[in-house]
Structures are given as structure tokens and as C-alpha cells.
Structure 1
Amino acid sequence: MPFTPFHLGPGAIVKAAAGRHFSFMVYGGTQVLMDIEPLIGIIQQKPILQGYTHTILGALVIGTVAGLIGRPIAAGNPLLGAVSFGSLHIACVVTGALGALVVAARFKSQGRA
């Protein structure tokens, strides 16, 4: 299934374990690059969506490219450190809760709940 957020779970676990030795931004960018091929397949209505980029060799090439172009982007981020981790976590919890409320309201208005 293309464009699945399930890939981010293992990445978050590795980030928690590896700390500064693992770039979650580069990992997420790699997932986007991997899913370009399925996107093209969806647009062109191809029967097979995951081809060469979803092989070991394709993943190695894409991971290498993402690692090479991702590190300078992450290191040069002028907003890095602009918000404290505590404030960022509070903002994430608040927006997540608001999003859950919006989804619940939409389900309720459509009679699904």
C-alpha cells in the first residue's frame, strides 16, 4: 500500500534508540522518495505499483541519495532550536487532541458513531 504512515513507527523506535545518530528527517524524506514510483503508477493506472524502488538495490540507492542530500538540509535548518522541546511537545499534544475532536465531530455528523 503506497503512502502508508506505518513506516514511521519503526523509524520512531530507531530514533528513540539511536538518538543523534539517526536522522528522522532523512528517514521521512527517504519514505517520500520511495513512494514517488507508486504515485506515478497510481496516476498512470498501472497494475503493479511497487517496482524497482522497492527492491533491496533500489532502496539502497534511494537511501544513499536521501542521506547525502538530507544531512545538509537538516544541519542548515535556521528554525532548529527556535522552539523549546517542552513547548513543541505541548503543541503536538494540543493539535493532536484538536485533530481527534474534529475527526470525532465529522464521524458523529455523518452518523457513523
Structure 2
Amino acid sequence: MPVTPFHFGLGAALHSAAPKRVSFLSFCAANVLIDVESLYNLVLGQHPVHAFMHTFVGATLMVVATVALFLVLRSFASKFWLPNPFGWQSLLVPPVALGAALGAYSHVVLDSVMHADIQPFSPFSSANPLLGVIPLGTLHLALLVLAALGVAVVGLRSLHSGGGNAS
């Protein structure tokens, strides 16, 4: 399924471990941007569904695109009024870049475990050594547990500090 929320569990855990260093918003944005390709291929009935953006080379381009999109939107927001949910306009580039990189590369790894049409090392290799290394149910459960832990840590930290963390 394109834009699966399972990926976000890892992002929640990573953000909760380093909230000032890892942007959860850019983690999610990179994941969604990568899956635009899959949605496009599904709608048009093209194969493979998981193509170029589901490679480490494609993911690298999505990291750059995510950071560029953030910079463009932040510049636009300074000239025009844009909503600022989760305080995204005050995020710094390093956490946005790290969140995007973790999101994009983990997306390729996680999808490589579960989708046979992915060639994560393309154009250098058509092999997918990650396919099936973890049973799908175990993978989904681990991502749900990570999501619960991440949300719990962020929630407890927010209650303790009396405020929220930038995403």
C-alpha cells in the first residue's frame, strides 16, 4: 500500500530518541514523496510498482527534494501567511535533512524486506538481498511497537516539560 503508516513508527521512535536532531515531519515527508511513484504506477497499472524511487539512488534524490521543498516552503512562508502546525517553520535544516535521510533510506530498506519488485541497489545490482529477511508480521509488529514507544516518549517528555517538541 503506498504511503503506509507503518514506516512512520520508526520515525516516531527516532524522533523521540533525538527530538532536536531528527525531524519527524521530514521523515514522514520523504516517505510520502517516495510512495508517490508507487501510487502513480498503481494507478496506471505499470510494473514494477516500486521502481526508481525505491532504490538508494532514488532515495538520495528524495532526501534532496525533501530538504529543497522545506526551504522553498519556509521562504514562501516568510513572505505570505502559511499555517505553522507543529512549528515546522522554525525547524533548522540539519534536523530536516537527517529526518529526510533516515526516512528515505529506511523506506527503501523496509520495502525491500517485503516487496519482491524492489531492486534497492539498482543501477549497480538487480539483487534484493533483503527480501524476506524478516517475516512480514514480525516487521509490522516491530514498527507498531516502535510507534507506541516513540509516541509514549514524546508524550511523557511533553508532559514533563510542560510543552511540545518541534517536529
Do the two structures share a fold, i.e. TM-score over 0.5? yes
Structure of greater Rg: 1
CA contact 1:29–1:70 (8 Å) conserved in 2 = no
Q: What are the equivalent positions in structure 2 for 1:1-113 lying under 5 Å apart?
A: 1-70=1-70, 73=73, 78-79=84-85, 80=87
Q: Which has the higher helix share?
A: 1
Could you list the runs of 5+ residues in structure 1 that have no partner in the other structure? 90-113
Counterpart CA distance in 2 for 1:36 and 1:78 is 24
Secondary structure of 2:13 counterpart: helix
Provide closer, same or farther for how the CA distance between residues 2 and 51 of structure 1 changes in structure 2, counting only shifts above 3 A: same
Q: 1 or 2 for the larger relative contact order (CA 8 Å, sep ≥6)?
A: 2
> Displacement, 1:2?
2.2
- Output one character per residue of 1:48-101: Cα deviation in whole Å (capped at 9) or x when no partner: 210000000100110121023225647955453xxxx66x99xxxxxxxxxxxx
- Provide the TM-score with structure 2 as the length reference: 0.43
> Gaps (5+ residues) in structure 2?
78-82, 88-157
Kindly indicate whether the alpha-carbon contact (under 8 Å) linking 2:14 and 2:22 is maintained by their aligned counterparts in 1: yes
Q: Distance in 1 between matches of 2:65 and 2:52?
A: 15
- Whether the 8 Å contact between 1:25 and 1:70 is mirrored in structure 2 is no
Q: Following the alignment from structure 1 to structure 2, what is the Cα–Cα distance between the partners of residues 17 and 71?
A: 25
- How many residue pairs were aligned? 85
Using the aligned pairs only, state the percent identity. Answer: 26
Give the RMSD, CA atoms, in angstroms: 2.8
Distance 1:74 1:28, change over 3 A: farther
